[in-house]
Chain A
Amino acid sequence: MLAAFVKKETLHILRDKRTILIVLLIPIILLVLFGFALSLELKNIDIAIIAEHRTESIRQLAEKIEANPYFTYKRVINSGESDECLRRGDADAIIIFSKDFEKSLQRPTDKPVIEIITDASNPMNSNAAIGYLQSVIAGSISPIAEIHMLYNPQMSSAYTFVPGLMGMIFLLICAMITSISIVREKETGTMQVLLVSPAKPIYIVVAKMIPYCILSCLNLVTVLLLSKYLLHMPVENGWLGVCLISFLYIILSLSLGLLISSIAKNQVMALVLSAVVLLMPIMMLSGMIFPIENMPWLLQEISYIVPAKWYIEAVKKLMIEGLPFRSILTELLVLLGMTLFLVIISLKIFNRKKD
């Protein structure tokens, strides 16, 4: 009996070419977009230098900047030019070496005086430029602070987006599309016919979930392949762990979809519920875009009940930080608990609703 239902659901999906195309393309499009086009990293920051005396150390620094792929070394300008230079867009940042820069280098008690001016009309770019410059300057001049960027040495932002994207993609496909497909049957009246039949409601629901579960696993494979071969993520031994926790998260999203379908009266409502009630908080509160540590206390507390937060955290640990599997035990247990809770609740509500 279950097999007949699974076959029916599979036929529904296969005959709906548009949906299946969207479902399979979403991960690819999102990954490529975030990985390349929407990159948060800056390249080709134009740098100009103001220095009265061109000393050896200044020349060395200029060489270093020139060699760095993130910077384009423009030229030495006069102090009077700086404002115009930034306004015209000739330079994104200007480094000013004070007159006694060279002398201050010799005396360890004095701090070398360097000024950096940036065009902060785009604060994000300007911050990034300062960050890069500081690390370059620190590396060459001041021995006080050495900066190491661990786990993501190229500071590539595509990396950091992958776990967040995965959290979003699975939720989108599982919860949204499953709930819509169940609610559609309510709307067309076929659900009524199924409920009057001797078919067990649990079969009907489980059969709905299986093909979407398989689709999501396909998506998981796509995402993992893309992150390895397209984004060159250095996942060493974490693949199995990522697959395991993703599978758990897929089941969880499916039961969320079932829950939504019991509440929603029509397809539009199911769509709005999944988009607004599920997707928005997950994007906002999961740490995908905004760091949770910077949020007000209340939002931080709320973020603990967002499943995506735990999932993304775990995937980050495995895929980016390269931590061993045992480091995600907490996340795994929390997700397992949430999944069990949601499966039970949504089946209960589904059963009660038919009365």
Chain B
Amino acid sequence: MENIIEVHELTKQFGKFTAVNHISFAVRKGEIFGFLGANGAGKTTAMRMLCGLSHPTSGNGQVAGYDINRQPELIKKHIGYMSQKFSLYDDLTITENIRLFAGIYGMKSVEIKEKSTALLTKLEIEKHRNTLVGALPLGWKQKLAFSVAVFHRPKVVFLDEPTGGVDPATRRQFWEMIYEAAEEGITIFVTTHYMDEAEYCNRVSIMVDGEIKALDTPAQLKETYNAPSMDGVFRALAKTAKRGE
């Protein structure tokens, strides 16, 4: 199977501090890849390098077919991103948000119109299309933010703790949307704090102190670390951490 993300010995140093220490891994096309690690383990820094936001100190790799070091601008065009903080504009309406972000990714306005009508119908918020996003319940916002992140059909979508602060029912619905997107061929790269969500991923990597300490399917990881759940696996690995929060 084709790899959509591939990195070798990727490293990021801030002065003497090595935030990300020679990590190598690959993510397959259409996969739901969980990127786990305690706060300060280097997750965010690694993700920023993959998104073309930050230049690696050393190492190389490619995302969506483009080189991390040389073509960060092209990478940006072919990925989607949703952050832990809610990432739409509260003072713009649903339609305005969709138009803005779709426009940034270079979509034509006819296409935007068609697709946004389809999207709003699917999310059953058709009659709220001119409501300010700030007035929507958090669960709706989160789902909308994800839909906007994959609206331009990116090859990979990066989700940085997308379900923070959302109730369990909405989290379930959110993961259904993630599965749907994966089935359509969009690769999902997701970081999360919830270990039950880690179980939903096809494969999971766990970062400790800037290094990837484990990478496998959830089932395999549980077997290797002899733990009943992903939570047990995570704790077993996190215990070895030397860095404080």
A binding-site residues for B, Cβ under 8 Å:
1, 4, 8, 11-12, 15-16, 188-190, 192-199, 354-355
10 interchain pairs, CB-CB under 8 A: A8-B92, A189-B85, A189-B86, A190-B89, A193-B83, A193-B87, A194-B104, A196-B76, A196-B79, A198-B77
Among B52, B100, B104, which residue has the most Cβ atoms of chain A within 10 A? B104
Q: Give 1 or 0 for each of B97-115: 1 = CB within 8 Å of chain A CB.
A: 0011101111000000000
Complex contacts, B3 vs chain A, CB 8 Å: none
Given contacts A198-B76, A198-B77, contact A355 B91 (CB under 8 A): no
> Judging by beta carbons under 8 Å apart, are B88 and A190 in contact?
yes
Q: Which of B53, B88, B90, B92 contacts A196 (CB 8 A)?
A: B53
Interface presence of B216 (CB below 8 A)? no
Given contacts A196-B51, A197-B76, contact A4 B91 (CB under 8 A): no
Extra inter-chain contacts (13) besides given A8-B96, A188-B85, A199-B104, CB under 8 Å? A4-B103, A8-B89, A11-B91, A12-B91, A189-B84, A189-B85, A190-B87, A190-B88, A192-B85, A193-B81, A197-B76, A197-B104, A355-B55
Q: Give 1 or 0 for each of B15-58: 1 = CB within 8 Å of chain A CB.
A: 00000000000000000000000000000000000011111000
Complex contacts, A194 vs chain B, CB 8 Å: 104
Cβ-Cβ contact count across A and B, 8 Å cutoff: 64
Complex contacts, B132 vs chain A, CB 8 Å: 15
Complex contacts, A198 vs chain B, CB 8 Å: 73, 76-77, 104-106
> Judging by beta carbons under 8 Å apart, are A15 and B54 in contact?
no
Complex contacts, A192 vs chain B, CB 8 Å: 81, 83, 85, 87
Q: Which of B77, B88, B104 contacts A1 (CB 8 A)?
A: B104
Query: In this complex, what residue of A is CB-closest to B77?
Result: A198
Query: In this complex, what residue of B is CB-closest to A196?
Result: B81
Closest beta carbon of chain B to A317's beta carbon, Å: 42
Among A4, A194, A195, A198, which residue has the most Cβ atoms of chain B within 10 A? A198
Query: In this complex, what residue of B is CB-closest to A4?
Result: B103
Complex contacts, A190 vs chain B, CB 8 Å: 87-89
CA distance A190 to B84 in the complex (A): 11
CA distance A245 to B89 in the complex (A): 35
Band of interface residues on B:
20 to 34
Q: Which of A4, A8, A199, A355 contacts B54 (CB 8 A)?
A: A355
CA distance A250 to B114 in the complex (A): 41
Complex contacts, A188 vs chain B, CB 8 Å: 85-86, 90
Given contacts A197-B101, A198-B76, contact A15 B86 (CB under 8 A): no
Closest beta carbon of chain A to B48's beta carbon, Å: 9
> Judging by beta carbons under 8 Å apart, are A15 and B91 in contact?
yes
B binding-site residues for A, Cβ under 8 Å:
51-55, 73, 76-77, 79, 81-92, 96, 99-101, 103-106, 132, 158
Among B73, B76, B132, which residue has the most Cβ atoms of chain A within 10 A? B76
Closest beta carbon of chain B to A230's beta carbon, Å: 35
Complex contacts, A193 vs chain B, CB 8 Å: 81-83, 87, 101
CA distance A175 to B233 in the complex (A): 51
Given contacts A193-B81, A196-B81, A197-B105, contact A11 B96 (CB under 8 A): yes
Query: In this complex, what residue of B is CB-closest to A8?
Result: B100
Complex contacts, B87 vs chain A, CB 8 Å: 189-190, 192-193
Complex contacts, A1 vs chain B, CB 8 Å: 103-104
Query: In this complex, what residue of B is CB-closest to A354?
Result: B53
> Judging by beta carbons under 8 Å apart, are A189 and B83 in contact?
yes
> Judging by beta carbons under 8 Å apart, are A4 and B100 in contact?
yes
Closest beta carbon of chain B to A188's beta carbon, Å: 6
Query: In this complex, what residue of A is CB-closest to B103?
Result: A4
Complex contacts, B77 vs chain A, CB 8 Å: 198
> Judging by beta carbons under 8 Å apart, are A12 and B89 in contact?
yes
CA distance A195 to B48 in the complex (A): 10
> Judging by beta carbons under 8 Å apart, are A195 and B89 in contact?
no
Complex contacts, A12 vs chain B, CB 8 Å: 89, 91-92
> Judging by beta carbons under 8 Å apart, are B73 and A197 in contact?
no
Closest beta carbon of chain A to B190's beta carbon, Å: 15
CA distance A198 to B79 in the complex (A): 9
Among A4, A16, A189, A193, which residue has the most Cβ atoms of chain B within 10 A? A193
Closest beta carbon of chain A to B73's beta carbon, Å: 6
Closest beta carbon of chain B to A3's beta carbon, Å: 9
CA distance A189 to B132 in the complex (A): 18
Closest beta carbon of chain A to B167's beta carbon, Å: 20
Given contacts A11-B92, A16-B91, A193-B87, contact A4 B76 (CB under 8 A): no
> Judging by beta carbons under 8 Å apart, are B53 and A195 in contact?
yes
The 5 closest A-B pairs by CB, nearest first: A189-B85, A196-B81, A193-B87, A198-B76, A4-B103
CA distance A355 to B49 in the complex (A): 9
Complex contacts, B79 vs chain A, CB 8 Å: 196
CA distance A12 to B93 in the complex (A): 11
Query: In this complex, what residue of B is CB-closest to A355?
Result: B54
Complex contacts, B99 vs chain A, CB 8 Å: 4
Complex contacts, B51 vs chain A, CB 8 Å: 196
Query: In this complex, what residue of A is CB-closest to B82?
Result: A193
